[in-house]
Chain A
């Protein structure tokens, strides 16, 4: 069964550094998403991406964040200058025509 993959599984970075989280969505999906989950809290929507552009973003998704689908297969989330409060689990998801989203296993980002 096809699945969404994410790399790395765990990323440790220093405050102020740039990080790129990578995702490989399911190949024939059209909708791509990033969510985050701060430890002990609920999963929050960050951004959705369709037709090579952002279709919606949340208040959390400020100028420090960007997304890209550089080569038609990968889907990346970049945080330009990380802050302590960016420490969280980041989930990538992709969806096809049935609106069901398939989630990746997540990348745990730790900012020190």
Chain B
């Protein structure tokens, strides 16, 4: 069955430190991949997406993600975290045919220490 896994439920980093959030997918073929951020009580904001091509994608707010086919991973990174980055981060994937429904990971809650 298709699935998206985010192994880390909670991550705490200090402001200014680097960040990596992990995401692994299990699909028959390489899916389209996305990272969303959700602040408490808010909707989903798209950070970045991967469809094809360059495996390192740049997103908003200084985030980037690297697609690694051999590891079925699409990890999100940021070189220097700001206190405003504290939120929940969701990785999502969709098939490249059919209904294009998204399957979301369980999310990683990021806490930033001042």
Nearest CB in chain B: distance from A105 CB, A:
4
How distant is the Cα of A100 from the Cα of B101 in the complex, in angstroms? 10
Pick the interface stretch among A41-49, A62-70, A78-86: A41-49
- Which of A31, A42, A44 has the largest number of chain B CB atoms within 10 A? A42
Residues of A within 8 A of B (CB): 31, 33, 35, 41-45, 48, 50, 55-56, 91, 93, 95, 98-101, 103-106
Residues of B within 8 A of A (CB): 32, 34, 36, 42-44, 46, 49, 51, 90, 92, 94, 96, 98-107
- Neighbouring B residues of A99 by C-beta, 8 Å: 32, 51, 94, 96, 100
Select from chain B the residue with minimum beta-carbon distance to A105: B43
- A56-B101, A104-B43 given; 7 more Cβ-contact pairs under 8 Å: A33-B102, A41-B106, A42-B107, A48-B99, A56-B99, A103-B36, A105-B42
Which listed residue, B34, B99, B104, B106, touches A31 by the CB 8 Å rule?
B99
Q: List 12 A-B contacts (CB under 8 A).
A: A31-B99, A42-B90, A43-B102, A45-B101, A48-B99, A93-B102, A98-B51, A100-B34, A100-B46, A101-B94, A103-B44, A103-B46
How distant is the Cα of A48 from the Cα of B26 in the complex, in angstroms? 21
Question: Do residues A42 and B106 form an inter-chain contact, with CB atoms below 8 A?
Answer: yes
How distant is the Cα of A56 from the Cα of B103 in the complex, in angstroms? 13
Question: Do residues B102 and A35 form an inter-chain contact, with CB atoms below 8 A?
Answer: yes
How distant is the Cα of A63 from the Cα of B43 in the complex, in angstroms? 27
How distant is the Cα of A45 from the Cα of B101 in the complex, in angstroms? 7
Known: A100-B46, A106-B43. A95 touches B105 (CB 8 A): no
